[in-house]
């Protein structure tokens, strides 16, 4: 019983990855990175590997899939020395309960629709379903446009930001690279950043070709692996960023039943315009949660309880601007398990965008960014606002230059961070809304810290 408790206590510090080898010598590659938690498919379950990993302080988790005798397989793991199990997919609740009762450390990575966000017994909250991050290109080679007019970016950040607002547990997203695809290393860095700017972990997963070349110690694969390690180390060296709360004056009241687990929905739509958004799940709606908001959208007014409606009523009485969505504006999770909007929902979103965009106008609701059409951002900070952090991810394969950011508040220092480089001071200047900085170039990932 002691071992699972110790493991659970360490879970917030795990840096997870899928590993396609049972050779203990392959752990030398892991040792070169911050990765300290490996997810192993059945073909790679090995007592020798588990023992070697434990000796290096690396947690091993056996991946179980629906349709197999999960409880029997889990019992076999005890003799192998594997630390615990990951049940990936939608299992019968009885199986999950049996594994939990057996005292085996169990992490559930179900479909988004089956996530149990409010389950205090879960050491990790997560899902195996996710989009592969990147700018969506249409068949003719043109960039697809979102309702906002910006390039359509496939991202999991909106979904992850909602989940992070719902739970204080570590959050994992375990989507894998597209099948039969060889990806440039930048796409992996984008996947890491796509989750990290929301305070979550992407479970590192390499395409088959990359994995083969890496295990063979081919020079280019080793160089790319080093860049992945550097990026992971970058976010792990700034763990305080994860504990910071969303900053900005725009609140989005939504819930699981109103489309919050979908990607490409309202939260992502607003974020593409680089308006800082504070997602507020219906059960978390309170006067304290709305304290810093000046504008808000209520996705499904019919789902609120009388006390929750009173919170929004008091918000408008105090001068806040509220947009109540009309009936039929919600986007519930499709029964098929899809995680993005369907064509009809996208049309509906397109129609609603005019109202939301008109509401926001050109007001600075926390931060305004310029020359960032291929990027996403997230603004977080300390409760008192003395320190704010602006995360930036570039979803193209080439650098973005001449970026400008205006943040609310008066700050005297700004520092630019990026993986593998030394932090450097950015000159700050006053603007009408607060403080401005200019950034000459961003490759893939960067963070600006204002103090």
147 vs 269, residue with greater confidence: 269
Using CB atoms within 10 A of its CB, is residue 24 exposed (0-12), middle (13-18) or buried (19+)?
middle
CB-CB contact of 82 with 61 (8 Å): yes
Token pair recorded at residue 85: 């199990």
pLDDT beyond 60 at 171: yes
CB-CB contact of 229 with 267 (8 Å): no
Q: For residues 5-10, give the mean pLDDT.
A: 81
**What is the pLDDT at residue 2?**
42
Per-residue pLDDT band at 296 (split at 50, 70, 90): very high
pLDDT beyond 70 at 270: yes
Q: Where are the domains of the chain?
A: 2-238, 245-360, 367-450
Cα→Cα distances 171→117, 165, 196, Å = 10, 11, 10
Q: Which of 141, 186, 142, 224 lies closest to 399, judged by CA?
A: 186
The number of residues in the chain equals 451
Token pair recorded at residue 293: 């908001």
pLDDT beyond 80 at 441: yes
**What is the pLDDT at residue 144?**
57
pLDDT beyond 60 at 141: no
For the ranges 37-41, 115-119, 373-377, the maximum mean pLDDT occurs at 37-41
**What is the pLDDT at residue 145?**
54
- Return the percentage of the chain with pLDDT > 70, whole number: 93
**What is the pLDDT at residue 155?**
94
Residue 194 CA to residue 445 CA, distance in Å, equals 9
Element (H, E) at 78: helix 70-80
Strand 375-381 versus strand 321-324 pairing type = unpaired
Query: DSSP code of 169?
Result: S
**What is the pLDDT at residue 137?**
59
Residue 297: phi and psi, rounded to 5, are -120, 130
Residue 277 CA to residue 274 CA, distance in Å, equals 9
Task: Report the side by side order of strands in the sheet with 367-370.
Answer: 367-370, 400-408, 434-442, 429-431
**What is the pLDDT at residue 431?**
96
Q: Which of 417, 41, 19, 83 lies closest to 231, judged by CA?
A: 417
Instruction: Check if CATH label 3.40.50 holds for domain 245-360.
Output: yes
Residue 170 CA to residue 376 CA, distance in Å, equals 22
Residue 214 CA to residue 220 CA, distance in Å, equals 8
CA of residue 9 relative to chain centroid, distance: 22
Cα→Cα distances 184→29, 190, 201, 204, 283, Å = 19, 11, 20, 14, 41
Token pair recorded at residue 305: 């309880």
Residue 55 CA to residue 67 CA, distance in Å, equals 33
Strand 245-246 versus strand 295-298 pairing type = unpaired
Topology at the third CATH level for domain 2-238: TIM Barrel (3.20.20)
Question: CB under 8 Å to 300, separation ≥6 — which residues?
Answer: 254, 255, 257, 258, 282, 325, 329, 330
Q: Where are the alpha helices (DSSP H) in 361-440?
A: none
Residue 442: phi and psi, rounded to 5, are -130, 130
| pLDDT single digits (tens) 91-130 | 888 887 777 777 788 899 999 999 989 887 789 999 999 9
Cite the beta strand spans of 89-152 per DSSP E: 105-109, 125-127, 134-135
Architecture of domain 367-450: Sandwich (2.60)
Strand 134-135 versus strand 295-298 pairing type = unpaired
Element (H, E) at 264: none
pLDDT beyond 70 at 13: yes
Residue 391 CA to residue 186 CA, distance in Å, equals 17
């Amino acid at each position: 019983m002691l071992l699972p408790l110790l493991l659970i206590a360490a879970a917030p510090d795990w840096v997870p990855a899928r590993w396609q080898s049972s050779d203990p010598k392959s752990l030398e590659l892991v040792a070169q990175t911050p990765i300290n938690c490996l997810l192993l498919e059945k073909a790679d379950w090995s007592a020798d590997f588990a023992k070697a990993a434990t000796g290096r302080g690396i947690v091993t988790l056996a991946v179980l899939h629906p349709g197999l005798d999960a409880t029997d397989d889990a019992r076999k793991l005890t003799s192998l020395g594997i630390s615990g199990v990951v049940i990936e997919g939608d299992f019968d609740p009885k199986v999950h309960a049996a594994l939990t009762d057996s005292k085996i450390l169990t992490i559930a990575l179900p479909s988004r629709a089956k996530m149990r966000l409010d389950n205090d017994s879960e050491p990790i909250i997560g899902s195996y379903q996710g989009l592969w991050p990147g700018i969506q290109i249409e068949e003719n080679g043109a960039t697809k446009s979102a309702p906002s007019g910006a390039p359509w970016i496939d991202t999991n950040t909106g979904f992850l930001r909602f989940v992070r607002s719902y739970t204080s547990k570590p959050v994992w997203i375990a989507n894998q690279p597209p099948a039969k695809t060889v990806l440039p290393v930048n796409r992996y860095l984008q996947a890491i950043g796509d989750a990290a700017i929301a305070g979550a972990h992407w479970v590192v997963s390499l395409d088959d070709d990359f994995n083969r070349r890496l295990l063979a110690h081919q020079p280019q694969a080793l160089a790319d692996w080093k860049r992945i390690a550097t990026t992971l180390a970058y976010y792990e060296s700034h763990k305080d960023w994860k504990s910071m709360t969303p900053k900005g004056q725009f609140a989005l009241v939504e819930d699981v039943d109103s489309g919050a687990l979908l990607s490409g929905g309202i939260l992502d739509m607003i974020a593409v315009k680089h308006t800082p958004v504070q997602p507020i799940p219906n059960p978390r709606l309170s006067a304290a949660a709305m304290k810093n908001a000046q504008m808000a959208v209520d996705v499904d007014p019919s789902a609120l309880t009388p006390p929750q409606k009173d919170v929004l009523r008091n918000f408008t009485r105090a001068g806040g601007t509220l947009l109540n969505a009309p009936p039929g504006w919600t986007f519930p999770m499709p029964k098929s398990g899809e995680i993005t909007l369907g064509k009809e929902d996208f049309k509906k979103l397109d129609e609603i965008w005019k109202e939301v965009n008109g509401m926001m106008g050109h007001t600075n609701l926390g931060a305004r960014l310029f020359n960032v059409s291929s990027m996403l951002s997230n603004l977080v900070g300390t409760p008192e606002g003395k320190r704010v952090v602006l995360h930036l991810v570039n979803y193209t394969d080439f650098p973005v230059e001449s970026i400008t950011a205006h943040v609310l508040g008066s700050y005297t220092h700004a520092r630019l961070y990026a993986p593998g480089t030394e932090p450097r001071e950015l000159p700050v200047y006053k603007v009408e809304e607060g403080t401005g900085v200019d950034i000459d170039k961003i490759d893939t990932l960067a963070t600006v810290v204002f103090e």
